[in-house]
Structure 1
């Protein structure tokens, strides 16, 4: 088991009894419901305590939820049982996880902004690989203006997402939609208040 400072920080946060980001799914993910297939497979990247993976399972998808924190995954399992759905839990790091080739109809990455600039390309390359042709990619992250709000997310600007960064990584996908917004968030104690975010949906070329 890894004992890096990053792992220990997150494991400590997730070891608390309360859900750090709440039990409700991310609201941008919910707004993507109409884009989801009626059935199929989904990968929730760095899914933490499972709120987003569980919601995807509630939409009828076979969900694989990956996170490197055992405490988070225990809470994800409890949340899935509470909601009456089944998800596959894999303990793994978002950067070194062995992303299977063309295995998922949906890949969702919601606020996984612990990635350094050196790690982020590994994560995004894996996510690209894991999507089936025609598969749906969903990303939400904090934008640089979030540093002015301080209502969640990293404090280092190099961890935040920009339109140019997302275009460089996924601009060759189909149906690319990138939107920057400022909205009040209510996602547990960790994401609370007015926030500056950036969203992406896109489809892997067939």
Structure 2
């Protein structure tokens, strides 16, 4: 099953699988982006994060996801909210070869296989402007013991070294494994073990 087929199956159901509210960690660090203009959201699915930041700020926003169904939901909701500052691209992130620079790159719960992270994280770091931020929340490998969501495949889960051992041209502001309570639609509900990341390009 391709990434598009997998996520289209999840997003084809009525409503928003992970709800309409942005991820709480991304929201909590909105203040870091006060001088930012161009934002990129990776693995953005149905668009809850991109729409929140588009509604509350004057950002130029791009969103990439493998699911055309998820992005159609994003576009339809943006249209209903009269937002015209979100550009979407349907693409498997393994095929992402960025040509633009961004002031911030964000994602929540992007399930990238561990063998593919070198390329992804290099692309992220290379695509950030000087002093730009990479902000993310992902499931820790310890999430395997929780039933609040996420894959049951350790190769799709993360540990702190995934971030500590990469991003050599950046400052690791925060890389922290934490226990949190998730309330994100039907997809993420309950106690979870996550890794929260804030990295700033030097």
How high is the TM-score relative to the length of structure 1? Answer: 0.91
| Whole-Å separation in 1 of the counterparts to 2:134 and 2:180 | 22
Please list every run of 5 or more consecutive structure 1 residues that lacks an aligned counterpart in the other structure: none
Q: Please state how far the C-alpha of 1:198 moved relative to its aligned partner.
A: 0.7
| Whole-Å separation in 1 of the counterparts to 2:76 and 2:40 | 19
Q: Extract structure 1 runs of 4+ deviating beyond 3 A.
A: none
Does 1:189 pair with 2:186? Answer: yes
**What RMSD in Å do the two structures reach over aligned CA positions?**
1.5
**1:69-125 residue CA offsets vs partner (Å, 9 max, x unmatched):** 110011001222233322001111112112124x10010021111x21222222212
Q: Please state how far the C-alpha of 1:176 moved relative to its aligned partner.
A: 2.2
Change (3 A) 1:129 1:201: same
Q: How many residues align?
A: 200
| Whole-Å separation in 2 of the counterparts to 1:150 and 1:158 | 17
Equivalent in the alignment of 1:72: 70
Structure 2 counterparts to residues 16-35 of structure 1, below 5 A: 16-35=13-32
**1:34-53 residue CA offsets vs partner (Å, 9 max, x unmatched):** 11134410000010001111
Please list every run of 5 or more consecutive structure 2 residues that lacks an aligned counterpart in the other structure: none
| Whole-Å separation in 2 of the counterparts to 1:21 and 1:108 | 16
Contact 1:99 1:130 in 2 (8 A): yes
| Whole-Å separation in 2 of the counterparts to 1:62 and 1:142 | 28
Contact 1:143 1:197 in 2 (8 A): yes
**1:139-186 residue CA offsets vs partner (Å, 9 max, x unmatched):** 110112211112111111121111111101225412521122111101
Equivalent in the alignment of 2:110: 112
How high is the TM-score relative to the length of structure 2? Answer: 0.93
Pick one of 59, 66, 83 that aligns with 1:85.
83
Structure 2 counterparts to residues 1-206 of structure 1, below 5 A: 4-58=1-55, 59-86=57-84, 87-101=86-100, 103-113=101-111, 115-205=112-202
| Whole-Å separation in 2 of the counterparts to 1:179 and 1:56 | 24
